[in-house]
Every structure is written in structure tokens, then in C-alpha cells.
Chains A and B, each alone.
Chain A
Amino acid sequence: MFSCNSGGADAKDNLSAVLCGINDLRLEQRPVPKPRDHRKYLSPNKPSQCTPTLEVLLQMESVGICGSDVHFLVHGKIGPFVVTDPMIIGHEASGTVVEIGKKVKTLKPGDRVAIEPGVGCRMCSYCKEGRYHLCPDMAFCATPPIDGNLSRFFAHDEDFCFKLPDHLTYDEGALMEPLAVAVHSLKQANFRLGQVLLVMGAGPIGLVTMLAGKAIGASAVLVTDTEDFRLKKAKDFGADCVYQMCEDKPEDEIVQEIKEELGCEPHATIDCAGAVQAIRISLKVTRTGGVVVLTGMGQLEMNIPLTSAIFREVDIKGVFRYNNDYPMAIDMVASGRANVKPLVTHHFKIEDTVKAFETAKTREGNPIKIMIHPNPNWQHCL
């Protein structure tokens, strides 16, 4: 067994953040996992499915809080996924390899990795056709009943751990998860160098989408939001222009004003808000022959102006997580094309997880991305 800077897997301390019920987040000790050669999936469809896999043991370094983590804490469910048993939270993460299974070939102890949290069954037609993110037996960190990775140690499939270049920090590693969502959205949009992008919503996902759009070579990106302070952040981070949405303004006026601000109609609009008004505007403002990508998740039923999009051949595409997008996300940051560092606004040790989630819930201090650090040696550098 190999050890790393914090005492390695010999240590029995595997403090883990466990969601035990609505608003009931507790810190508990869990056994330190051992890297396995086979993994059992606890999927509702196939109660005992065994897929050969090779695992590494990771010391967790940075784990970001996602809106979905907060949603599970506050509501105990998202759609059909219900927290029925205690579940470890967290899925936007990076770590250091401390131990590898016997047959692991591509990673070694000491390697610093970004962790892609969802592993498919590898056998179904979705997995074999390259769309493993749609696998019906997907095992995804912190989507019940699968444990997440906000713990000191976590075991994961070797091929879903992506080595970080030396000059990337662990925080940047953890940001690969939301950035991968952005990369996937832009792929769905078929977005190309020289095109114009409209991003609805300046939350963390809207911001990484803007950054990724610029990295691909957008000639201009406009970001909308209802809140002034978020638009200011978007501008600071590189948005070419911003627009403040107002609930009471007539839609067609908003459409017109966005076009004037951009100077043209966008080739692609990516909605990162999930709000009906934003989606309605997306369908109207996008260039004929363009694409609307709906990343944000909102109401199940919506009243939308569909016909205009249809006969203008504006395609409408959905987004569910990502597939094969981590390499591009890492490259965007490593090459300097996208700077994600400023998105991290708050840091907490794993012991202060409850406080971290309080900050996420109340939005005190206007957090963008809150990072939690399970490595006991982590120190806040200012």
C-alpha cells in the first residue's frame, strides 16, 4: 500500500458528509474503501449487476457544492431520485491517487486527478454507442442510492479519473465537472469558432458556459440574468455584453433589446436558468437555422412559442450531464483559454460542511462556487 502526503490509506479517518434526511447532513466515519476489480451497481433496474472494472483509491482534495446537492438536502429528492437511505453527498471533485488496484495501468499513487462522477454499465447499447451518460444503469455520485465523494477517501474507476497537468490546482480539477456540462452543451449546440452565443442565466453553469463558449472561439457572448450583481461578475469574467432580464417587460421588447445589444441574432442560445421566460425568449431570439440548448432544468410542463422555432428550423436540444467531455474541459483550462479560478468564492474544511451548505442555501456573501476540502492538511491560502 502506498501512502501520500496526508498519511495515506493507512489512516482510519474517513470522515464523510452523509445526507440522512431533509436538512439533516451529518459527518460520520465510514470504512476506507479498497480499490476493487469488480464493482456491484445498486441500480433500481438491475439489482445486482457486476461489471469488470479497475479502481483506484483517492484522497479527496476539493469538492464543490452543486445546486443539486443543495436540492437533495432541502427537498430530499429530485424527480424520481429519492433519498431513502443515508447517502454521502458531493460529486464535483478532485483528488490524489493513494492506492491502485493490481491491474491499474494508467495511474499511479501521487497522480492528481479530476473525477468524472458517473460510470455507466459499459455493456448496453447507450454505453457502446458512446452515449454512456444516458445509460439506464448509470451509477452517479450523490444521485440516490449511489454514495457521493465528499469524504476523505473515495474509490473510483481508473478510466473516469483524469490526470491534471501540474499547473492546475485541485480547485480547478473540481471545476471540471460543471465545465464538462458547459462543454457538452456547446457540443449539442454544434457551436463553432466565429459564431455568436447567447447564454441565459449567470449562475455557475451560465458562467462556465460563457467561458467555454469563448474558449471555443465565439466572436461574442451575451449573458442574461435577473440580478445586477451576477451580470457584473459575468462581465468581469469575460462576457462581451450583458442584459438584465425583467419579468414585467413584454417578451418581444426583450427579444429586440437583446438583438440590439449583441448586434445580431445569436447562432446558438444556451439556457442555463430553467426559467420559462428565459426559454420562451430563447426560442424567439435565436437566428433562423440556429440551435437552442436547454441545460437548465425547470418545470415539467411549460407553455412555449414552439411554432416559430419549428418553421424557422431552430433546433431544440436537451442536455444531461456530459460524455467524453472531461479531456476538452481540462484542455480549455490548461491552455489558458478558459480561466475558472475566479468562480471559487468560498472555502470550508470538511468538518464545516454543514456551514458550507448553509452558505449555499442562504446565498449569504453571494457565493458562486463553494469548495469543501476533505484533506486534513488543507490550509486556506489567501
Chain B
Amino acid sequence: MAPKDNLTAVLYGINDMRLEQRPIPVPKPNQVLLKMEVVGICGSDVHYLVSGRIGPFVVKKPMVIGHEASGTIVEVGKDVKDLKPGDRVAIEPGITCRTCYDCKSGNYHLCRDMVFCATPPVDGNLARYYVHDADFCHKLPDNMDLEEGALMEPLAVGVHACKRAGVRVGSIVLVLGAGPIGLVSMLTAKAMGASKVIITDLVDHRLNKARELGADFTVRIEKNMTENDIIKKVKSLLGEDPTVTLECTGAEQSVRVALQVTKSGGVVILVGLGKFEMTVPLAGALVREVNIRGVFRYNNDYPIAIELVKTGKVNVKPLITHHFTIEETKKAFETAKTGQGNPIKILIHANPEWKP
């Protein structure tokens, strides 16, 4: 029974997303062939659709979209020993060179020769079939489903951010922004033992979701609020200064607030990506030894993310708000673009047998 249908979602140019057939790929000896199951839409996917680029990465030729995914193994390369056909996996989308200093010292996410799904010119995995290096496919435990599998990618971002922040039992955590990344960061912080988590956003329905997911306090940022207003509100609700701030918006005002509100000796993690040049009150943070650290994707975080969901410490299911089949990909991206129906995580199902 040789499958011939490899329907694939391909980005041709700005606002030009097409579905087409592509050959079914053949796995190399260290790779597996996956029947793709669930692929989530990320803000970066939408950004490539709408702007055709993110910074230096420009969509110059047709590129398959999608990188937050799970699949079922249908074939393994001859050197693959730890996985077999039938295994369900979460797919870590970036393959590294494995030989440079960054790769060998454990920071493979910083590898300059990283090959990352749906970062041009590398094809993504929103297709019916896809091949990937076996060691970047993480087996899902029996009690996790394929939708949760696709959410391991954003959850890994949250795990990496909280690790970089040193969140632990007793941490007082402020999360700025309650989009999907703010929410997974909050979930991870709680799982890591944060005693209080406060989360901010411009929009009520997102803060409602945050409360549903366990936020201790929420702050709705209103248009006329100054930085000082926000800082005062956060501190008064918490009853103290946050020791960790996870900035998940990329907005300049939010970054400014992070630097001012965080406790002396604490840490600000800048997860959100915004303007290249920002005017920020740096000196105040520096003389108080507030460390400022960026994050880029994740490294060695998938196993932790899977453990968090497997053991019930984190519940990602409430993040899922919309489902589409791969045939409805354009409609899925429309929903992501317009925000109609207040989406948080939109999932696209590539398996033709999937039923809602």
C-alpha cells in the first residue's frame, strides 16, 4: 500500500499560500519517515505569510510552512534503533551540524548551520509526510495525545525561558503578555515551583484564559496607563517585587517596565522579539544588578516539556482553541491573521483520517 498523497502547504509569497502535492520523501539511514498528524500555527508562520520575511530570513523561493508538529513513524532508516514504525513523536524542528563548538558544548540551538523547519530556505513540516533525524523525534508517552505532542514546541520555549531565568520554588514571577508564549511560560513557571505568578495583557479574554490556567493575579493594561501605573499595580497585587520577569510581548513599553519593576538582583528574560533598536532605562537595572538575558528557541528542553505534561504538572489542552484540516490551511491562517474567534493555538490536522 504505497501512499501517494503528500498534500503540502507551501508559502509562495506574501499572502500566497498554496496546497500542492509533493513527492513522499525517503528517510536517510539516521532518519525516520513520519505521517504528519498535528501542526500548530506559530506567530512566526503568520509573519512569513504576511511580510515574507523575519529580519534576515527572507522567503525567496516557495517554502513549506509549519514547525510545531507531531507525527506517527511509518518507516525508519537502517541505523535508527530507538524508534520503530507506529511510535508517536513530538518533532523538534531544528537539526544542527553536531560538530561545531556550540553543538558540542550543549548549546546546539545556537549552531550557525542550524537547519530549522519553515525558517527560509528550509522547508517546514505542514504536509502529510515528512522525514526528520531520528534523534530529534521525541517519543510521546501513552497518556499524551498527538495534539499535546504538537504543543511541545511552544512549551519547550517556555521551559527554556524559565531555565534561563533560574525559576525555582519560591520565585515570584511576572509574565508580560498572555499570548501562547506568555501562557506556556506561566505554566512552566508554576510547575517549577514559583510561589506567585502575575500576568499582564491588553486583552481580557487572554487574561481569562490565564486565570483558567492558574495565574495568581492578572493585570489588564489599559491605554492610558503609564509605566509607573503598571509598575505600581503589579507590585501592589503581588505584595512584593517580582524576582523574575518573563517579557513575552516584544513591545518597547513592556521591556521598559520589566527593567524597572524587577527586584534588585533579579532577572529579566526577554522572550518576545520586537524592534531592533529600543530606548530603555538601562542604568537603573544595571546598578541594581538586574540581569538581562535573551532566549532563542530551546535546547535539550523537549524531554522536560514532555515530562511536565506526562506527569500532569502542566496542562496544555486549554491553549487549543481551533482545529482545521490541512485542506483548510488558508482558512486556518486567516483566523490566525484576523484574530476572529479569539484564537490562542490553532491546530491543523494533516492526517486525512482525523475527525473533529
Residues of A within 8 A of B (CB): 46, 48-54, 122-125, 127-132, 157-159, 323-324, 327
Which B residues touch A130, using CB under 8 A? 104-107
| B104, B133, B134: most-surrounded residue (chain A CB, <10 A) | B104
Which B residues touch A323, using CB under 8 A? 104-105
Interface residues of B in 99-137 (CB under 8 A from A): 99-101, 103-108, 133-135
- Contact in complex: A50, B135 (CB < 8 Å): no
Contact partner of A324 among B99, B105, B300, CB < 8 A?
Answer: B105
Which B residues touch A122, using CB under 8 A? 98-99, 103
Query: How many Å from the CB of B191 to the closest CB on chain A?
Result: 20
- Is B303 close to A, CB under 8 A? yes
Which B residues touch A54, using CB under 8 A? 99
- Is B166 close to A, CB under 8 A? no
- Is B228 close to A, CB under 8 A? no
| B79, B101, B108: most-surrounded residue (chain A CB, <10 A) | B79
Query: How many Å from the CB of B46 to the closest CB on chain A?
Result: 30
| Shortest Cβ distance from B97 into A: residue | A159
- Contact in complex: A46, B300 (CB < 8 Å): no
Query: How many Å from the CB of A324 to the closest CB on chain B?
Result: 5
- Is B214 close to A, CB under 8 A? no
Contact partner of B30 among A52, A125, A158, A159, CB < 8 A?
Answer: A52
Which B residues touch A50, using CB under 8 A? 29-30, 79
| Shortest Cβ distance from B77 into A: residue | A50
Give the distance in Å from the alpha carbon of A157 to the alpha carbon of B134 in the complex. 22
- Contact in complex: B104, A49 (CB < 8 Å): no
Residues of B within 8 A of A (CB): 29-30, 79, 81, 98-101, 103-108, 133-135, 299-300, 303
- Contact in complex: B99, A129 (CB < 8 Å): no
Q: 9 pairs across A/B with beta carbons < 8 Å?
A: A46-B81, A52-B98, A54-B99, A123-B30, A127-B104, A128-B106, A130-B105, A158-B99, A324-B104
| Shortest Cβ distance from B29 into A: residue | A50
Which B residues touch A327, using CB under 8 A? 101
Give the distance in Å from the alpha carbon of A53 to the alpha carbon of B104 in the complex. 13
Contact partner of A159 among B81, B99, B105, CB < 8 A?
Answer: B99
Give the distance in Å from the alpha carbon of A327 to the alpha carbon of B105 in the complex. 12
- Contact in complex: B300, A159 (CB < 8 Å): no
| Shortest Cβ distance from A51 into B: residue | B30
Contact partner of B99 among A53, A124, A131, CB < 8 A?
Answer: A53
Which A residues touch B104, using CB under 8 A? 127, 130, 132, 159, 323-324
- Contact in complex: A129, B106 (CB < 8 Å): yes
Give the distance in Å from the alpha carbon of A323 to the alpha carbon of B81 in the complex. 26
| Shortest Cβ distance from A40 into B: residue | B79
Given A54-B99, A324-B104, 13 more pairs with CB closer than 8 A: A49-B79, A50-B29, A52-B30, A123-B135, A125-B300, A127-B104, A128-B300, A130-B107, A158-B99, A159-B100, A159-B104, A323-B105, A324-B105
Which A residues touch B98, using CB under 8 A? 51-52, 122-123, 127
Which B residues touch A157, using CB under 8 A? 99
| B101, B134, B135, B300: most-surrounded residue (chain A CB, <10 A) | B135
Give the distance in Å from the alpha carbon of A132 to the alpha carbon of B303 in the complex. 18
| A124, A128, A157, A327: most-surrounded residue (chain B CB, <10 A) | A128
- Contact in complex: B106, A131 (CB < 8 Å): yes
Give the distance in Å from the alpha carbon of A357 to the alpha carbon of B24 in the complex. 58
Give the distance in Å from the alpha carbon of A323 to the alpha carbon of B105 in the complex. 8
| B98, B100, B107: most-surrounded residue (chain A CB, <10 A) | B98
Which B residues touch A51, using CB under 8 A? 30, 98
Query: How many Å from the CB of B333 to the closest CB on chain A?
Result: 33
- Contact in complex: A324, B303 (CB < 8 Å): no
Q: When A132-B104, A159-B104, A323-B104 are in contact, do A48 and B99 touch as well, CB less than 8 Å?
A: no
